[in-house]
Structure formats: C-alpha cells, structure tokens
A = this chain, B = another copy of it.
Amino acid sequence: MVQGVGPMAREAAPERRRQILDAAVRVFARQGFHSTRVADIAEEADVAYGLVYHYFSSKENVLDELFRERWSLLLEAINEADQSPSTPREKLAVAAGFIIDSYRYDPELMKVIIVDVTRAADSFGRTHLEQINAAYTLIAKIVAEGQEAGIFRDDIDPRFASMTFYGAIEQLLSGWIFGLIPATDQDLDEARGLVVRTICEGLEKR
C-alpha cells in the first residue's frame, strides 16, 4: 500500500501517533508552542485536524509527550552515570554530555524542550517542575558524593552547586538556540569539556 500518495492510506495507529509527534516538534521549534495552532500541527503532519485529538487530549498533551520521552532518557542517563564507578567529575561530564549530545542529535526537539518547557517554568513547565527538579536532585547527589569523597569543597550546598551546573549548561543551549554564540560541530565538541572544567576547576589559573 503506497503511503503518502493518493487518498490517505490506513496506517497502524502507533505510526500515526509518531507522525504527529514528529510534525509537532518541527512546528513548535519553528513557531514556539504558544503561537502554533493545532491546525498547524495537523497540516505539518499531513493529517486531519481532528486526528490530533484522536491521539492526544490537547495541544499541551502533545508537548507533554515530547518532553517526557526525552527527559526520562536524561534522568536515566544521569542516574546510570551516578551508579558507575567513575569520579564525580566524570559523572558530571556524562550528564553534561548527554544534554549537549541531545542538542547535537536533535536540535529541534531540544529547542522545544528548553524553550517551551524547561525555561517556561511558569506556564507549561509548572506541570513538569517535579520532573525537572528530579534532574537537579540527581546532579546534587553526585556533587554531595564528591564532597563526601573529599574531592569537592564542602562549604557549598550540593543543591546550590547543582543549580549552578545545570544553569550553565542550559544557558549554553539557549545561546546556541538563539544564535547568540556559535554552534558549529566543533563548538559542541568542545562545550562539554569546557563547562565541566569551568564548573569543576573555575575560571582562574591555578
């Protein structure tokens, strides 16, 4: 059955769902969540307006799914790094690397997640504060372990350090997303090491 030509061929439900999700990423990335209409998603997905509501309960629910899919992978990755026998610094490097690679691999999706969820902690992000906070907590755990191991200074609240670390990374992504700092492949390659080094060693010469 030819797909995409002529009258819409039937497809297995899961594929349709994916088709809509993928289209939504493109549209959200292009226009932002607030200014995309459900009709835009449907059009981009080559699907009828109503079908979006067949698979999702609302426009928010679409963004919802996109966020959960990716964020759960992030939490998993950080958690896994924490379980490994690496040094705290290596664990933080894994966390930073995962986020940066997510951007490298699928910049549109990450743009949507950062701009419309993570940084929009008022409106939509509020729903996901708990998930987002879970990431901060995992990072704080790594910092705390580094302190117990005597590697990190212990005069700083791990939660505080965690916010600093994550904030630095997110700001870099934002800079790339908004074209404020260059984002060549090489920049992305260097970024991970640079953030980790900056946070872990600081700016001053030693």
Contact = CB atoms under 8 A, between A and B. Distances in A.
A115 interface: yes
Number of this chain's copies in the assembly equals 2
Contacts of A169: 167
B181 A159 contact: yes
A2 B32 CA distance: 44
Contacts of A67: none
A175 interface: yes
A165 B175 CA distance: 13
A204 B160 CA distance: 15
Contacts of A159: 175, 180-181
A199 B156 CA distance: 12
Interface string A100-131: 00000000000000011001111100000100
Contact of A120 (B119, B151, B195, B202): B119
A194 B156 contact: yes
B121 A119 contact: yes
A153 interface: yes
A43 interface: no
Contacts of A34: 34, 122-123
Nearest to A31: B122
Given A163-B180, A167-B169, A198-B199, 13 more contacts: A89-B204, A151-B204, A152-B205, A153-B203, A156-B197, A159-B175, A159-B180, A159-B181, A163-B175, A167-B167, A168-B168, A168-B171, A199-B203
